[in-house]
Structure 1
Amino acid sequence: MNVIGQVTVLPQLPEAIGRLSELAYNLYWSWTPHAQALYRDLDAEIWERFQHNPVRVLLEVSQDRLEQAAADPDYLGRYTQVMADFDAYMGKKDTWASKNAAALGPVAYFSMEYGFHESLPIYSGGLGVLAGDHCKSASDLGLPFTAVGMLFHQGYFRQLFNKDGWQEEAYDELDLTTLPIKPALTAGGEEARVSVQIGHRDVHVRVWDLRVGRIRVLLLDANVPENEGEDRKLTARLYGGNQELRVQQYVLLGVAGIRALRALNVPAQVYHMNEGHAALLGLERVRELVETGLDFRTATETVASSTLFTTHTPVPAGNDAFGYDLMDRYLGRWPSLLHTSREELYALARHDQFWDGHWVPTFSMTVFALSMSRAANGVSELHGEVSRDMWKFLYEGAEAREVPIGHVTNGAHNLTFTSQPMRDLLGTVLPDDWTERLEDEEMWKAVEALSDAQLADVQLDMKREMIAFVRRRLREQLTRNGASAADVAGTDGVLSENALTIGFARRFATYKRATLLFRDKARLSRIVNDPERPVQFVFAGKAHPADNPGKAFIQEIYRVSQEPEFRGKIVILENYDMNVARHLVQGVDIWLNNPRRPLEASGTSGMKASFNGSPNFSILDGWWREGYDGTNGWPIGEEREYADLNTQDDADAFSMYQTLETQIVPLYYAPPQPDAEGRSGWRQVVRRAIQTVSPRFSMQRQVIDYVNQYYLPLTERGAALARNGSQRAREIAGWKSWVRQQWPHTSLQASAHLPATARPGERVEVQATVNPAGIKPEELRVEAVLKRGDHFTRVPLTPQGNGHYSAQVPLEDSGLYSVGVRMLPEIEGLSNDLEAGLIKWA
């Protein structure tokens, strides 16, 4: 036949189930298993083949099957209930935000990646899933919130293992017509387009609209006909290019992202940069204000006053820094646009680093993000401490503990990762509105009422589902690699539902030490092959395409899994994504995590496991340092630092084996000995894991913390500095310029009358003499600083006139004190004591 054309005939939804299309375009379904079941039950094979994508199911399913579903009373009943729940959710007026944060201004949240669901693969790992969860809880809480990101046409990558266990990468072009996104429309009904100059080229950007419950996400797409081929690739792959491509992508995210908000008239009063990738949004916001007549410094103060920066990594490689020559190619015209000099602009990002044998200034995205914000945070308590120490060089003369970087410990979106069977079980003891009160620790105490038998039944069902999933995945992998029929059939014996099952799934960065378990293989073999008390392990994770050491870790685990004594008992799955993650966190008995402390900023996978009743077995790093309470899981190693990495690895591996052998395995296999309430040892740890982790590490709690600690204060401060044509911002900018000019001419001398010994509570006199060099005395704080071990105390000195200051400083406790005197400039309205960046010690 001579083909003269092609046409696709799309199925039409019967009226009775007509709103399935509307629901498919709102990711509410991604955390609602009953909604997902409506699409899965239309055609399970299509559902699985296309990564559980409702839009694709509706495009592929037959018309006959739709008619059958519309005539099925059971299906119609479930459809009616799901849509009623959806309407109630979308129409809810008395949200947490309406009751607790009425003064909150609209928030614009920028992230390079988002992990919402496996059918939209624009994420690489934890950072993206965290951003996706943040959006979901912003919706749940009713925040005025809009997210901005990138639509990567080839995503991160699809991970394949070859027959030798080496990771290979495949890049699949997404068919945008089958994704739950629609073109973003302007007020005039036109598709939103913005452009940004990158180098000497104008790059055109299409904006897509993604609905996540009550909020929207704007996704930037450079793959449009107006662009040249290389520019169309700017939104091809996530983290797939060299430094030059990364800079171009960062310009696109920051500058085009702001322009997308403006093109769509999306209001924003608070701007949240999730990692340094989004730092260049500050350029565009300053340009907008300069264009209205503000000077560069006033505009910068105005912009920074309403901006929050979240840093996620204590690893230098995770903090991008670029040579000035590279930045000149892409930011070369920006100084003139901002009415400033190259030196002044680049000074906001300067980080001197040792490159090629000498020190050179670099443009650090993290330093620029810190300079362009007046609030910053790490993602766990320990990470906050590490970050303050890491960036203290920006505040010369300050103690690390004073550096203005706080912390909000990460959480995870409970409903995305808690299985439906566990949700149903929790619903038998928690109040009807429990999904709206996830952060309520008191509410979760009701989990104590769950019996051992109830927990055991649900967890066994989830374990069976996980094992079946693992076997299917292994069969697919073996078949693709040309394995024998016997090897493929052998997957039926992989893993046992009766064995203690431990899961490990992470990004395969080397500091996460995925192979630590194999440090003593003989001892591990005895643990795994104990005939009475067997233990089995399931691994998953991706290494960055350029990270060969990480790939070598994957290959090592694969090879161990093929050794006779470990075959079928240690498994590593390919293509780790949100689908794999859900199966593992819902099905394993224990979650293992063993990063090299203190390099794990937070971690969230273990939280998701505990939502499903799987206790954590982890290094006391990141979130687990805060989460572990002695009853809800187990620690690995000690909370200390090591000078030698090999010694640290030996110590942590020994602790891992020892705890497994003497505590975890005996408890798991111990015959039930119920207490008066019918609870036995293992299930009590399970209960405690659910009860303690679910509220404290819910994404709901995390977003509430962001609102109270950052979004609300930034709403207020940003409005105050922007009021009356940025009058207060202009005053602060002018004051900083004056003080910085005069600071080299100031002087400080001090003395103290210190006895050789003193008693607790005794006071000593400290005196200082200041030459303020024209700075007003009321704009200087002179203070004594006392250090005793880890204790740090600041005591203001009182002005005595003519530049003299003194104070009686109490020595409140016993110990060896160091006493110093310093001077800082301050005026009302600064965001923190160190904002001026000036400290002078006597």
Structure 2
Amino acid sequence: MSQTELPPTESVSPRPPAGPSDFFSELSHADDLYGKLWTLANNLWWSWHPECDAIFRDVDPIRWRQLGHNPVALLREMTPERLADRAGELVLHSRINYAYRRLQEYLTSSQTWASTNAGVLGAKPVAYFSAEFGIHESIPIYSGGLGVLAGDHIKSASGLGVPLVGIGLYYSQGYFRQYLDEDGFQGEDYLETKIENLPIQAALDSDGQPLTVAIDTRDGQLFAKVWLMHVGRVRLYLLDCNVDGNKPEDRELTSRLYGGDERTRIRQELVLGVGGVKALAALGIDPGVYHLNEGHSAFGALQVVRQLMDNDGMTFEDAVQLSARATCFTTHTPVPAGHDRFPPALVEEHLGPLRDALGISQKELLALGRVDPDNDNESFCMTVIGFKMSRCANAVSSLHGVVSRRMWQSMWPDRAENEVPIGHITNGVHVASWLAVQMQTLYDKHFHTDWKHRLQEPDAWQAIHDVDPGELWETHNSLKHNLISFVRRRFSRQCRRRGESDNVVEAARHILDPRVLTIGFGRRFATYKRANLLFSDMDRIAELLGNSDRPVQLIYAGKAHPKDEPGKKFIQEIANLRHDPRFAGRVAFVEDYDINVCRHLIQGVDVWLNNPRRPLEASGTSGQKVVLNGGLNCSILDGWWGEAFNGGNGFAIGNGRSHVSDEITDRRDAESLYQTLEEQVIPCFYTRDSDGLPKFWIKRMMNSISTLAWRFSSHRMVADYTAKSYVWAAGGVTCEMRYR
């Protein structure tokens, strides 16, 4: 069955159910308003439409914030009568009806970008595999950049009408909740998510029964229940191992994201890849394209081969050729430690039954995951099998493509480095998810009426140059005030939780100054990202921050992996600067970085700081989100910024070169960072005209938006994947890409 033949998305959802499987039961006419809100809550389309977000917030602003902006949890606390009362008080009826109609029109429209540009996919949908999906803060099945990128990818696939289904894992405890103790050291809490508070339902098999798949291993079967979540037009299927039939330890397999030892990891990846492909078959979905987002799901390619052998009587070699043609593989990391590797015994334990079915030897199986097939000492690498089991592979920025071709050249020893078949499609971000309401209002006022339907087109953004500079600056300052208010709330709450004095809590409510140049830094605290680079010279940065005429303030956020002690040390160093009189009130570390914290930061900062050790940042997308909201990037020329910076749309750190010595590179980059701040960023921000406007700064804001917003949108990214990869993999004609 093709994607277009799947049953239509349900249009009405019920009153609060007893469990997720009851979400789509019959609704009485008396509950019409209530049901329409449930319909909106049960499709994550609402999360990138601010008018829907505003409806849920207005119903009960306090509980909305306390419940983490979760509409399902909010509605479960309300009766139809109470909602009717609130709707009457706030005159919500027309707003709810309008939002409901818009959702129905969106779901049923056949006039999409893909219907014109990717017709072949209508009968051959894309199956998009990812270990995590960051869609909204209320759905905690993501850890960071990879997941948020995957979430943005499927949102844009929905917006463009690309026939696509997502495959992932349901993590009942998600990633950890971060807190800092009294010494500023990171601690981790794992909280169980109440599945009844999620917009999720059991996926049903052809007999209308909840679907569970079984995966064979040498030590018994693994079972996974399949859940379904609606993300606009896209269906996202999530596999959950907490089911009867599994051993107690296996029921915990999908409880935490990126937790446990390598045995846990390989079993998670077996469930994602093999279990995901089996789930699609059981659902009657026959993809024309398999997109493996990073190596975590690469085992799935072997299951596709098995199905071709079983269903069509193919030999192993012929099935590999056919499945590889339909498989696209995206690699995301130039850091060697970021590629999962497993010892042969662990691979045989988990892939042995599948290997038997494929009719290949253990050596032949292991060769698929080895750069050198004859090296018995080489471990099995998920990235290597991803490359070998696909015919279309890409990195996620131009520079990352160069690095990846160099990194993996030994897999193609007969080819020159520039002929290694790894192309690139630069990452982008979902505009509607990250654009502040105030900026959207500004764009609606000045841009062409159809700009939201042409996000990936340069012309759609050029009207920013016609906006009055004062209006743009006023809008930005409004967002900056919102950010500082948010940080003050969070910072004071952190102090109160640690039991600090009333004076300290009160001081936390007044940190930062909306008039001061505000620099933000938010990302994973891996050491190569060098979160502490700005503090290489403490006296120099203290002088910058404390300057009486042109002061600077810093907001940091981010998590270190629970096992990354150096990363945790970086967090501690920065968080404890609040105790240093030179930095008190000028440096704030916001705990528990997530989509919500990120949204506030990228919408309100003046400058977004990114200073990884080049070329270890594959792409990066946080700075792309800043662009949409008028902030400026100050970054190493790495990842996306290496192809984005044009001299007048932000600021560059360094000259794009690195020394063979990391110590010398760090010293050079720190000096360049200080000079860039002292000689470019700070003077540009504080130089004002007769109206009090930083006209040169505002010009850079406009240049940033006009040159970058379209280019680094996920609509452009998904359009590129469709034109350069998906259509070709599904048997159509495509643009140039690197194929094998």
Tell me the TM-score normalised to structure 2 length: 0.93
The verdict on how the C-alpha distance between 1:133 and 1:398 changes in structure 2, with shifts beyond 3 A counting, is same
Deviations 1:731-776 (A, max 9, x none): xxxxxxxxxxxxxxxxxxxxxxxxxxxxxxxxxxxxxxxxxxxxxx
Aligned twin of 1:810: none
What corresponds to 2:711 in structure 1? 696
Aligned to 1:127: 146
* Aligned residue among 51, 57, 72 for 1:34: 51
Q: CA deviation at 1:352?
A: 5.8
**Cα distance in 1 between the residues matched to 2:733 and 2:179:** 48
Give the whole-Å Cα distance in 2 for the aligned partners of 1:538 and 1:488: 18
CA contact (8 A) 1:155 1:236 kept: yes
- Asked whether the 8 Å contact 2:727–2:733 carries over to 1, the reply is no
Q: Which of 673, 684, 699 is the matching residue for 1:684?
A: 699
Offset at 1:435?
Answer: 1.2
- Of residues 410, 415, 418, the one that matches 1:401 is 418
Going from structure 1 to structure 2, the CA distance change for 1:565 and 1:61 (only over 3 Å counts) comes to farther
CA contact (8 A) 1:351 1:362 kept: no
C-alpha distance in 1, partners of 2:301/2:87? 51
Partner Cα distance (1:15, 1:397) in 2: 66
Residue 495 of structure 1 aligns with an amino acid whose one-letter code is L
Partner of 1:828: none
1:491 aligns with 2:511: no
Q: Equivalent residue for 1:626? A: 643
Tell me what 2:4 maps to.
Answer: none
Q: Which residue of 1 aligns with 2:525?
A: 508
1:275 is aligned, of 275, 280, 294, to 294
2:388 is aligned to 371
Match among 435, 448, 454 for residue 418 of structure 1: 435
Following the alignment from structure 1 to structure 2, what is the Cα–Cα distance between the partners of residues 832 and 375? 6
**Equivalent residue, structure 2, for 1:741:** none
Question: Could you tell me which residue of structure 1 aligns to residue 341 of structure 2?
Answer: 321
Q: Say whether the 8 Å CA contact 1:42–1:61 is kept in structure 2.
A: no
1:298 and 1:562 map into 2 onto residues whose CA distance is: 66
SS of 2:303's equivalent? helix
Determine if the alignment matches structure 1 residue 545 to structure 2 residue 562.
yes
Give the distance between the partners of 1:80 and 1:670, measured in 2 at CA: 49
Q: Distance in 1 between matches of 2:690 and 2:721?
A: 44
Matched residue, 1:236? 255
Residue 530 of structure 1 aligns with which residue? 547
Verify the 8 A CA contact 2:480 2:514 in the aligned structure 1: yes
State the shift of 1:46 in Å.
1.6
By how many angstroms is 1:85 displaced?
Answer: 2.4
For the residues of structure 2 that align with 1:556 and 1:582, how far apart are their CA atoms?
24
Q: 1:109 aligns with which of 120, 123, 128?
A: 128
Aligned partner letter, 1:303: S
In 2, Cα distance between equivalents of 1:309 and 1:717: 18
Matched, 1:465 2:482: yes
Q: 2:582 aligns with which of 553, 560, 565?
A: 565
C-alpha separation between the residues in 2 aligned to 1:375 and 1:403?
A: 12
Equivalents in 2 of 1:55, 1:696: separation in Å?
35
Secondary structure of 2:91's counterpart equals helix
Alignment of 1:669-680 (within 5 A): 669-672=686-689, 680=695
> Residues 46 and 60 of structure 1 are in contact (CA less than 8 Å); yes or no, is this contact kept in structure 2?
no
Identify the match of residue 312 of structure 1 among 332, 346, 370: 332
Is the aligned partner of 1:435 residue 2:452? yes
Following the alignment from structure 2 to structure 1, what is the Cα–Cα distance between the partners of residues 89 and 188?
43
> Could you tell me which residue of structure 1 aligns to residue 616 of structure 2?
599
Displacement, 1:430?
1.2
The one-letter code sitting in structure 2 at the alignment partner of 1:68 is D
Q: Distance in 1 between matches of 2:645 and 2:520?
A: 18
| 353, 357, 360: which one aligns with 1:340 | 360
Change (3 A) 1:184 1:20: same
Q: Give 1:479 deviation, angstroms.
A: 1.2
**Distance of aligned partners of 1:347 and 1:718 in 2 relative to their CA distance in 1, 3 Å threshold:** farther
Report the equivalent of 2:9: none
Q: Which structure has the higher relative contact order (CA within 8 Å, separation 6+)? A: 2
Q: Whole-Å Cα distance in 1 between the matches of residues 176 and 338 of structure 2?
A: 19
**Distance between the aligned counterparts of 1:61 and 1:483, measured in 2?**
36
Structure 2 distance, partners of 1:708, 1:304, is 18
Report how far residue 375 of structure 1 moved: 0.6
In 2 relative to 1, CA 17–113 (structure 1 residues): closer, same or farther, beyond 3 Å?
same
The match for 1:706 among 709, 717, 721 is: 721
**2:66 — aligned with what?**
49
How far, CA to CA, are the matches of 2:467 and 2:108 in structure 1?
33
State whether structure 2 residue 289 is matched by structure 1 residue 289: no
Cα distance in 2 for partners of 1:345, 1:652 equals 44
Say which of 227, 251, 258 aligns to 2:270.
Answer: 251
The corresponding residue for 2:10 is none
Conserved 8 A contact 2:158-2:233: yes
Query: For residue 541 of structure 2, what is the amino acid of its counterpart?
Result: L
Gapped runs of 5+ residues in structure 1? 1-6, 720-830, 836-842
Q: Which residue of the other structure, out of 84, 92, 99, is the alignment partner of 1:82?
A: 99
Amino acid corresponding to residue 685 of structure 1 in structure 2: R
> Are residues 359 and 569 of structure 1, via their aligned partners in 2, closer, same or farther at CA, if it must alter by over 3 Å?
farther
Residue 630 (structure 1) shift: 1.0
Q: How big is each residue's C-alpha offset from its partner over 1:697-729, in whole Å with a ceiling of 9 and x where there is no partner? A: 00000000001111011111799xxxxxxxxxx
1:344, distance to aligned residue in structure 2 (A) = 1.5
Instruction: Check the 8 A contact 2:684/2:694 in 1, yes or no.
Output: no
Query: What is the CA distance between 1:832 and its match in structure 2?
Result: 6.8
- In structure 2, the residue matched to 1:197 is 216
Q: 1:647 aligns with which of 650, 664, 667?
A: 664
Please tell me whether the aligned partners of residues 492 and 505 of structure 2 are also in contact (alpha carbons under 8 angstroms). yes
- Post-superposition shift, 1:91? 2.4
In 2, the alpha carbon distance for the partners of 1:309 and 1:114 equals: 17
SS of the counterpart of 1:476?
helix
SS at structure 2 position matched to 1:442: helix
Q: Distance in 1 between matches of 2:604 and 2:505?
A: 23
Cα gap change, 1:632/1:644 in structure 2, threshold over 3 Å: closer, same or farther? same
SS at match of 1:132: helix
Task: Give distance in 2, aligned partners of 1:670 and 1:62.
Answer: 56
> Following superposition, which runs of at least 4 residues in structure 1 exceed 4 angstroms of deviation?
10-14
- Separation of aligned partners in 2, 1:352 and 1:430: 55
CA RMSD of aligned residues (A): 2.2
Counterparts in 2 of 1:670 and 1:84: CA distance versus 1, 3 Å: same
Q: Distance in 2 between matches of 1:679 and 1:832?
A: 45
Aligned residue among 602, 607, 612 for 2:629: 612
Identity of aligned residues (%): 45
| Conservation of the 8 A alpha-carbon contact between 1:306 and 1:717 | no
Shift of 1:64: 5.2
Q: CA deviation at 1:214?
A: 0.7
Alpha carbons 2:167, 2:237 under 8 Å: kept: yes
Report if the CA contact (8 A) 1:42-1:65 is conserved: no
Q: 1:300 aligns with which of 314, 320, 328?
A: 320
1:780 counterpart residue number: none
Query: Take 2:738 and 2:112, find their aligned partners in 1: how far apart are those partners?
Result: 32
What residue is the counterpart of 2:183 in the other structure?
164
- Scaled by the length of structure 1, the TM-score of the pair is 0.82
Q: Does the 8 Å contact 2:132/2:169 carry over to 1?
A: yes
1:14: how far off?
A: 4.3
Task: Give the number of the structure whose residues are more often helix, by fraction.
Answer: 2
Measured against aligned partners, the alpha-carbon deviations of 1:542-587 in whole angstroms (never above 9, x if no partner) come to 1111110111110111122321110111111110000000000001
- 1:798: which partner in 2? none
User: How many angstroms apart in 1 are the aligned matches of 2:340 and 2:51?
Assistant: 42
Please identify which structure carries the higher strand content: 1
Q: Distance in 1 between matches of 2:514 and 2:711?
A: 30
Instruction: Give the 3-state SS of the residue equivalent to 1:427 in structure 2.
Output: helix
